[in-house]
Amino acid sequence: MRRNLVLLVSITALLYLVGCTKPTGGNTAGKKLTIAVIPKGTTHEFWKSIHAGSNKAAQELTAQGTDVEVIWKGPLREDDREQQIQVVEGFTTQGVSGLVLAPLDDRALVRPVEDAKRANVPTVIIDSGLQTDATISFVATDNRKGGSLAADRMGELLNGKGKVLVLRYAEGSASTTEREEGFLTELKAKFPGIEIVSSDQYAGATRDTAKRASENLLNRFGDDVQGIFTPNESSTAGMLLALQDINKAGKISFVGFDASQSFIDAMRAGQLHGIVVQNPFNMGYLGVRTMVDSLLGKSVEKKIDTGVMLVTKDNMETPDVQTLLHPPLDQYLK
Amino acid sequence: MVAEVKQNRTLVTSAVFQSWLNRLGPLLGLVLVIVIFSILMKTPERFLSPNNLRIVLSQTVIVAIGAIGMTMIIISGGIDLAVGSTIALTGVITALGIHSGLSPSLALASGILVGGLVGIINGLVITRLKVVPFIATLGMLGVGRGTAKWVAGEQTVNMADTWLNQLLVMFPNPPWLMVAPGVWITIVLAIVAAVVLRNTVFGRRVFALGSNEAAARACGIATDRLKIWIYGLAGLLFGLAGVMQMSRLRQGDPTVAAGSELDIIAAVVIGGGSLSGGEGSILGSMIGALIMAFLRNGCQQVGWPNYIQEIIIGAIIVVAVAVDRWRTSRAVI
């Protein structure tokens, strides 16, 4: 028994030693660059586009002579900070060339990212901000602008007067908080005739929590409000399901955020009156490109905007919007 | 002599009082929650409207169906921590079934059966490998969740629109149903389970097993086989809860319902179930589930932040168990 224990301990120790002797950093020229791309979750269609975009960047760069491999790994739930921290730490000890990270929280991920920097693994932040200057660049949507685009659309739909409900996404998520603030600020400044009846409830991380919150809020405010804004894919999906269930879809002006097939169908059916669409494909693409540029010693911008756009029934069939709504996922995801 | 009779009488009256308290306690709690929110609410007519009742009932279905199975398990002295994972797994299986062209009824059956299978595996691990239920099902919590993510390809599974999606809609078709079909299914299942537990040999054996396992075995009950049956049957119910979850989301989501086992256990405990076994009632558990759904619904409509709702639900669980302890200690005397 005791001998077994000794054996176990020595094997474990040996494994650790082997693990530690692996080269860290490894960003020497001519070698293969491994870039770990860490999304907030893997189940939303949004993240699939980021995945496809980063694969495109890797393929292009490899074709241009810089051998780049993208490793895709994230927490499965969008609110599991602990799991995402472990993913970042795992890649740090594994010694990848660089991290491209969409942090779940603007503070919780600061320590692991700073640790990674100390271990010579640089980080590019995508999608959502991080409260540290230990990163190379911030490649993201201008979320505030996205929120104000939604507010402009809402004001136009309601002709500048009426009551509006905002269902927030989740506590501590920087990107969605900026969208909500952008929406509220713009609405107050430009459309003083519009009243916000509720903006302090949260949808939570999944479609299920969002649907439940929406049902409860709609029962309370459903007959009073003329407009609704939701700041991301899951909250928009949950609100849409709740509206469809009570046959109110289409009767309330509804502006959402992010794109998915069901939103496009809903927009065609007149149940959704506008979505603010980011360019996740471009975000994944620029995230990896920026990381590689920096590893190759080129100077990169501290902040890179990947673009937002308001999509409505009127412009949804134009080619520009179509490529935005249907990024070439199949081509880059196998 | 006279004193003895008097004492007996007080004992009898207090026993009657207690059994009424047992039965009415949770119901009283539910009424209290509804009354308090109606007072706090600026628009009580909305809160008490039939539509809001429809909403709350639909939201309760998943926890309620899970609580029927969990009540059986808890009465038998066991516990199941893998319910949330089972719900996610069976929801994904059903969605995949429809996605791959199975008829909705076959997909429904496969979801329920997979739930039963998970339950039987739990039962086998508990009886054959002699692992206590807490650990066995803690293991299954991970295995089930992982399997769900695996078979779903780490993504949500979207599928065509079928009648399964209508199980939990607010306005059912045909309208004379009044509430979602899933609510009726839950009510029927609850009545059947209550009758089975109260009036059948199987039901009495479940109580016997939970009250005193050694005595039950000595009385000739094949306790191991009984346990496998209990976990298997409960598993079928968890599978149905998974189908309901899928119906609500109109997709199979492998990450859904994490932590819902705690909601379900809380429903049973608030409804008078005792984690030491031998006690619990289906009616109580259903009321427990409704209390939590009304709390969530009410807090949101009053406009309270989520944390208040979490604190209240936590406090109610502790109060319910404290009352339970108080009852048992009185019963011993």
Residue B26's pLDDT is: 82
Fold of A143-278: Rossmann fold (3.40.50)
Pair of tokens at residue A304: 């890179």
Is the pLDDT score of A28 beyond 70? no
pLDDT digits (tens, 9 = 90+) for B189-224: 999 999 999 999 999 999 999 999 999 999 999 999
Looking at beta carbons, which residues of chain A come within 8 Å of B169?
Answer: 245
CA A287 to chain centre: 12
How big, in percent rounded to 5, are the helix, strand and coil portions of chain A? 45, 20, 35
Interface test with B, best of A206, A220, A223, A240 (most B CBs within 10 A): A220
CA A245 to chain centre: 28
Structural domain contains residue B23? no
- Nearest by CB: A201 against B158, B171, B300: B300
Residue B10's pLDDT is: 58
Spatial neighbors of B304 by CB under 8 A, at least 6 apart, are: none
Task: Provide the 3-class DSSP secondary structure of residue A224.
Answer: coil
Q: Using beta carbons and an 8 Å cutoff, which residues of B are at the interface with A?
A: 43, 46-47, 49, 51-52, 55, 58-59, 149, 154-156, 158, 169-171, 245, 248-251, 253-258, 296-297, 300-301, 303, 305-306
Structural domain contains residue B30? no
pLDDT band at A26 (very low <50, low <70, confident <90, very high): very low
CA A299 to chain centre: 25
Residue B8's pLDDT is: 59
Chain B: residue nearest A215 by CA?
B55
Pair of tokens at residue A15: 């494994």
Q: Do B254 and A208 touch (CB under 8 A)?
A: no
Structural domain contains residue B33? no
pLDDT band at A124 (very low <50, low <70, confident <90, very high): very high
DSSP letter, residue A326: S
Phi, then psi, of A31 in degrees rounded to 5: -85, 165
Q: How far apart are CA A321 and CA B4, in angstroms?
A: 88
Residue A290's pLDDT is: 96
What's the whole-number mean pLDDT along residues A160-166? 95
Shortest Cα distance, chain A CAs vs residue B10, angstroms: 47
Mean pLDDT (chain A, rounded): 87
Structural domain contains residue B55? yes
pTM as predicted:
0.77
Structural domain contains residue B17? no
The CA R_g of chain B, rounded to the nearest whole Å, is 21
Structural domain contains residue B108? yes
Distances (CA, A) of A281 to A53, A139, A329, B155: 4, 12, 9, 18
Q: How far apart are CA B178 and CA B191, in angstroms?
A: 19
pLDDT band at A19 (very low <50, low <70, confident <90, very high): very low
Shortest Cα distance, chain A CAs vs residue B86, angstroms: 16
| Residue A211 sits at the chain B interface (C-beta within 8 Å) | yes
Distances (CA, A) of B185 to B27, B72, B90, B109, B252: 21, 18, 18, 15, 21
- Nearest by CB: B249 against A41, A202, A207: A207
The CA R_g of chain A, rounded to the nearest whole Å, is 22
Q: Do B251 and A207 touch (CB under 8 A)?
A: yes
Q: Beta A68-72 vs A33-38: how paired, if at all? A: parallel
What are A309's strand-pairing partners?
Answer: A277
**CA torsion, points B115, A44, A250, B174, in degrees to nearest 10?**
-10
- Nearest by CB: A241 against B59, B158, B250: B250
CB A152 within 8 A of CB A132: no
- Total of domains in chain B: 1
Is the pLDDT score of A187 beyond 90? yes
| Residue A248 sits at the chain B interface (C-beta within 8 Å) | no
- The boundaries of the domain holding residue B267 are 41-332
Residue A11's pLDDT is: 53
Q: How far apart are CA B159 and CA B98, in angstroms?
A: 6
Pair of tokens at residue A32: 């293969």
Domain boundaries, chain A: 2-140+280-304, 143-278
Spatial neighbors of B193 by CB under 8 A, at least 6 apart, are: B68, B71, B72, B282
Distances (CA, A) of B126 to A133, B102, B216, B226, B262: 52, 34, 17, 12, 20
HSE-CB at B128 with a 13 A cutoff on CA atoms is 7
Looking at beta carbons, which residues of chain B come within 8 Å of A245?
Answer: 169-171
Range with lowest mean pLDDT among A170-174, A277-281, A312-316, B59-63: A170-174
Please report, for the domain that includes residue B87, its CATH number: 1.10.3470
Q: How far apart are CA A194 and CA A161, in angstroms?
A: 5
Range with lowest mean pLDDT among A43-47, A144-148, A256-260: A43-47
Looking at beta carbons, which residues of chain B come within 8 Å of A198?
Answer: 303
CB A153 within 8 A of CB A312: yes
pLDDT < 70 regions, chain B = 1-23, 324, 327-328, 330-333
| Residue A24 sits at the chain B interface (C-beta within 8 Å) | no
What's the whole-number mean pLDDT along residues A224-228? 94
Q: How far apart are CA B108 and CA B90, in angstroms?
A: 9
Number of Cβ within a 10 Å radius of residue A94: 14
CB A240 within 8 A of CB A272: yes
CB A238 within 8 A of CB A227: no
Fold of A2-140+280-304: Rossmann fold (3.40.50)
What's the whole-number mean pLDDT along residues A196-224? 91
Residue A142's pLDDT is: 92
Residue B95's pLDDT is: 95
pLDDT digits (tens, 9 = 90+) for A259-302: 888 899 999 999 999 999 999 999 999 999 999 999 999 999 99
Structural domain contains residue B90? yes
Looking at beta carbons, which residues of chain A come within 8 Å of B258?
Answer: 77
Closest-CA residue to A78 (of A233, A266, A192, A309)? A233
Interface test with B, best of A45, A76, A260 (most B CBs within 10 A): A76
| Residue A198 sits at the chain B interface (C-beta within 8 Å) | yes
Structural domain contains residue B280? yes
Q: Do A245 and B170 touch (CB under 8 A)?
A: yes
Closest-CA residue to B25 (of B301, B297, B279, B309)? B279
Residue B166's pLDDT is: 87
| Residue A201 sits at the chain B interface (C-beta within 8 Å) | yes
Residue A324's pLDDT is: 87
H-helix or E-strand spanning residue A139:
strand A137-140
Chain B: residue nearest A262 by CA?
B158
Shortest Cα distance, chain A CAs vs residue B114, angstroms: 22
